[in-house]
Structure 1
Amino acid sequence: MGRLRSADAWAVGILFSRTGVTSVIENSQFNGALLAIEEINEAGGIHGRPIEPICYDPASVVSRYGELAERLLAEDGVNVIFGCYMSSTRKEVLPIIERRNALFFYPTLYEGFEYSANVIYSGAVPNQNSVPLASYLLENYGGRFYFVGSDYIYPRESNRVMRNILRQGGGEVVGERYVSLEAGAEEFASVLGEIEALAPDAIFSTVVGTGTVNFYRAYLKATNVHKRAPIASLTTNEAEVAEMGAEAAAGHITAAPYFRNIKSAANSRFLERYHKRFGTVDTVTSCCEAAYFQVHLFANALRLTGCMDTDHLREALRGAEFDAPQGRVKIDPDNNHTYLHSRIAKLDEQGEFVVELEVRRPIKPDPYLVVPALNDWNFRLTPMKQGLGN
């Protein structure tokens, strides 16, 4: 897609990969952002003017995100960008955004330990997903963990955080390996051999993109389905499950703010509109949902300001709330991250996520894990099997 076509429109940049190794997730984010923009425009736009997306495909190449962000800001004349999945790509875009005092909406869970006045972080941080997942696994499976991740910033930093959380809870990491983003069965063979030898109680996976599908499939072939330790993840989602198949997915666990099959009126409306627009809901993921609601948060701020000035938008976004498909969310004025819900779900034999635990209310983001105590979660988590919660 090219430059702005209408002088009357509000121009925004969209920077998600629709090709390459992370496209299985970024396509869902792209769809979520476009759906929100179309909803806003169908309702009359903002002050009678439509939002017009200027979209580029970085093709999952890290350096391209920075190059295309520069093009959006310098040549296309936008100062608001929605985009990125991997932390390495966020860090490519971040200095460009800050140098030009633009605004960047990032809809992906990440490792935390970052703040920028120019970024709205709408994905989960460790206190919203890693801490409850660790508590759940320690209580239900045991204390011996094996880490496997893709070889870039997020997996290594996420594992560092998770290791500290587990240590606090009395667990230990018995092995840790990293693979390429394009890892296939051959590269996973030695990882699986090590898992078999070490016999961990649970595997914490930060493998992303097509590697996720390849890992789960390889794990299924290499192990006895009735004896294997569960793979627990913060990233594995419905789109990847659809690609890997229900048999490879069954029994594994994900912690996330949103799952497609949660019961709420807002989620039902979201899924209905998504299906009408894209012909399926198979690609709806937690990252898709975050991309969707952050566009609506931006639009509400734009209604208040009536202008695209970064400083005015930033002020309007402080404390802003929205009834998202996952439930009520809020931008924390203290750190530009988002109050989110937290849920832990296990995949059943049909490849559907079954929520087993959830928090009773949105959780204040703590990107620096100032209060990381595992015990804080014991009273917040509601067992779904008791019929509580949604």
Structure 2
Amino acid sequence: MSITRRRLLRNTAAFGALAGAGFPHIWIKNADLAYAAGGEIKVGVLFSLTGTTAIIEESLNKATLLAIEEINAAGGIKGSKIVPIVEDPASDPATFSEKARKLVVGDKCVSVFGSYTSASRKAVLPVFERQNNLYWYPTLYEGRECSKNVIYTGAVPNQQQDEFVPWLIKKFGKKFYLIGSNYIYPKEENNYCKKLLEKYGGEVVAEEYVPLGHSEFSSVINKMRSTQPNVIFSTVVGDSVVALHRQYRAAGLDPEKMPMASLTTSENEVAAMGGEAAAGHFTSAPYFMVHKSPENQKFVEAYKKRWGADKVTHFVSEACYFQTYLFKQAVEKLATSDLTPPNIRDAVKGQETIAPQGKVRLEPENLHTWLWPKIAQAKSNGQFEILVEAKEWLKPVPYAAYPGQSCTEKGLVEKS
């Protein structure tokens, strides 16, 4: 039967009406063909290149593209090249959602790698759940999420705080000043910190949150000076980290007596603020650039060669890098005709790879990652010195702060 232009337009309009009326399986079926078309595998790369969190997200974009380039240079995935479609959501959650929809619905990417803040992850989550697509999230985060449409490769609270908080109490004292950026991640991390402080006999002398992009910390520093905490527990993010450290140093506060202990300050922020402003403070993370392993040496050398000798790697860019290889391993398990987001999700469950930090594993039960916790102190040369390193990788427990809840392959389970 011949197909006239009028009939084609009429059928296209009818398809659009059906899709809008709630028949997503029709869209998915046609999208599956697009995923495998032309010997190319399209993926989205959704990190902010402008705005307040670009200071960190720009490096996440670079680490993701580096891994894609390496995979393609080695022959791609079973002969197919990964084609990255890069979008700039400009550090704005609403723009993240808009760009995510473009990548999933318009560009028909089989997966999207993206986000630094939990605010942006929460903004895109409805897109991936409605379209049954897959979002690869590399950032340390607060846990308390159980989605079948997100692969979580960053640390959750138990992987950053279980050893860090008691270590800080033992080394410096029990009084903690909690300072964070004003969104869900710092508040949930502080919720978990307070539970650990209660367990180990610590106390909170102050708890304060500042807007994203905040740059004036004089009142905060005055409060720190007056309350005299033993530890300043920081979950400040983005370029606010630079401002906080510089103003702390300018105020003459002493990290030997009142150190900042951060879950978010990496080599990238240290490079932006200068080593002297960071020196003496602490970070807990699964990866530091100085970690010694053949895999890390290869990663650091490749990153510097590709993006510049002055560039640094850090615990979120490292997760961007290894999660791209986990994606590759999952796709390699599938036939071209089976290349869909749900099938990639099922194929990546239980996958292991030797990451720069050590061997990591994607937990089938909750789609989070087994990681290697470390505690390190910033030095004036812009790098860290690793002081404590886990002897074994640590299982992710995204609901550690909520013992009545757990994330399983069937979804969130609430115990009575």
**Correspondence for 1:238:** 267
**Correspondence for 1:381:** none
CA contact (8 A) 1:107 1:123 kept: yes
- Which residue, 273, 297, 304 being the options, matches 2:302? 273
**Correspondence for 2:379:** 348
CA contact (8 A) 2:362 2:368 kept: yes
What aligned pairs does 1:17-28 form with structure 2 within 5 A after superposition? Answer: 17-28=48-59
- Which residue, 145, 153, 158 being the options, matches 2:189? 158
**Correspondence for 2:356:** 325
Helix, strand or coil: the match of 2:217?
helix
In structure 1, what is the Cα distance between the partners aligned to 2:244 and 2:235?
11
Q: Give the CA deviation at 1:272.
A: 1.3
In structure 1, what is the Cα distance between the partners aligned to 2:356 and 2:241?
25
Q: Alpha carbons of 1:18 and 1:283: their partners in 2 closer, same or farther (altered >3 Å)?
A: farther
Tell me which moved more, 170-179 or 303-312: 303-312
CA contact (8 A) 1:25 1:239 kept: yes
In structure 1, what is the Cα distance between the partners aligned to 2:330 and 2:400?
28
Answering whether residue 332 of structure 2 is matched by residue 303 of structure 1, we say: yes
Q: Give the CA deviation at 1:263.
A: 0.6
CA contact (8 A) 2:289 2:312 kept: no
- Which residue, 285, 293, 318 being the options, matches 1:264? 293
In structure 2, what is the Cα distance between the partners aligned to 1:119 and 1:226?
38
Q: Whose radius of gyration is greater, 1 or 2?
A: 2
Helix, strand or coil: the match of 2:50?
coil
Q: Give the CA deviation at 1:306.
A: 3.0
In structure 2, what is the Cα distance between the partners aligned to 1:370 and 1:192?
29
1:86-109 superposed Cα distances (whole Å, 9 cap, x missing partner): 000000111110111001100000
Helix, strand or coil: the match of 1:305?
coil
**Correspondence for 1:196:** 225
1:139-164 superposed Cα distances (whole Å, 9 cap, x missing partner): 11111000111111111111111111
The percent of aligned pairs where both chains have the same amino acid is: 46
Compute the TM-score of the two structures, normalised by the length of structure 1: 0.91
Instruction: List alignment gaps of at least 5 residues for structure 1.
Output: 373-390
**Correspondence for 2:323:** 294
**Correspondence for 2:209:** 178
Helix, strand or coil: the match of 1:181?
coil
In structure 2, what is the Cα distance between the partners aligned to 1:147 and 1:84?
24
In structure 1, what is the Cα distance between the partners aligned to 2:54 and 2:107?
24
Compute the TM-score of the two structures, normalised by the length of structure 2: 0.86
In structure 2, what is the Cα distance between the partners aligned to 1:119 and 1:62?
17
CA contact (8 A) 1:343 1:355 kept: yes
Q: Alpha carbons of 1:115 and 1:333: their partners in 2 closer, same or farther (altered >3 Å)?
A: same
Answering whether residue 67 of structure 2 is matched by residue 67 of structure 1, we say: no
CA contact (8 A) 2:41 2:110 kept: no
Q: Alpha carbons of 1:259 and 1:67: their partners in 2 closer, same or farther (altered >3 Å)?
A: same
Q: Give the CA deviation at 1:228.
A: 4.1
Q: Which runs of 4+ in 1 moved over 6 A?
A: none
Q: Alpha carbons of 1:370 and 1:178: their partners in 2 closer, same or farther (altered >3 Å)?
A: closer
In structure 1, what is the Cα distance between the partners aligned to 2:398 and 2:256?
36
Q: Give the CA deviation at 1:51.
A: 0.2
In structure 2, what is the Cα distance between the partners aligned to 1:150 and 1:223?
23
Q: Give the CA deviation at 1:233.
A: 0.6
CA contact (8 A) 2:39 2:79 kept: no
CA contact (8 A) 2:255 2:280 kept: no
CA contact (8 A) 1:47 1:306 kept: no
CA contact (8 A) 2:172 2:257 kept: no
Tell me which moved more, 323-332 or 272-281: 272-281
Letter in 2 for 1:231: M
Tell me which moved more, 362-371 or 207-216: 362-371
Q: Alpha carbons of 1:226 and 1:116: their partners in 2 closer, same or farther (altered >3 Å)?
A: closer
In structure 2, what is the Cα distance between the partners aligned to 1:79 and 1:305?
13
CA contact (8 A) 2:174 2:203 kept: yes
Letter in 2 for 1:112: G
What aligned pairs does 1:95-106 form with structure 2 within 5 A after superposition? Answer: 95-106=126-137
1:238-273 superposed Cα distances (whole Å, 9 cap, x missing partner): 011011111110100000000001110000111111
1:64-103 superposed Cα distances (whole Å, 9 cap, x missing partner): 1111101111111113110000000000111110111001
Q: Alpha carbons of 1:321 and 1:236: their partners in 2 closer, same or farther (altered >3 Å)?
A: same
Q: Give the CA deviation at 1:226.
A: 6.4
- Which residue, 392, 405, 408 being the options, matches 1:361? 392
Q: Give the CA deviation at 1:119.
A: 0.9
Instruction: List alignment gaps of at least 5 residues for structure 2.
Output: 1-34, 404-416
RMSD across aligned positions (CA): 1.7
In structure 2, what is the Cα distance between the partners aligned to 1:335 and 1:220?
41
**Correspondence for 2:242:** 213
1:295-332 superposed Cα distances (whole Å, 9 cap, x missing partner): 00001110111342122211211100000000000000
Answering whether residue 123 of structure 2 is matched by residue 92 of structure 1, we say: yes
Helix, strand or coil: the match of 2:295?
helix
Q: Give the CA deviation at 1:371.
A: 9.6
Letter in 1 for 2:221: L
Letter in 2 for 1:236: T
Helix, strand or coil: the match of 1:7?
helix
CA contact (8 A) 2:137 2:153 kept: yes
Aligned pair count reads 367
**Correspondence for 1:111:** 142
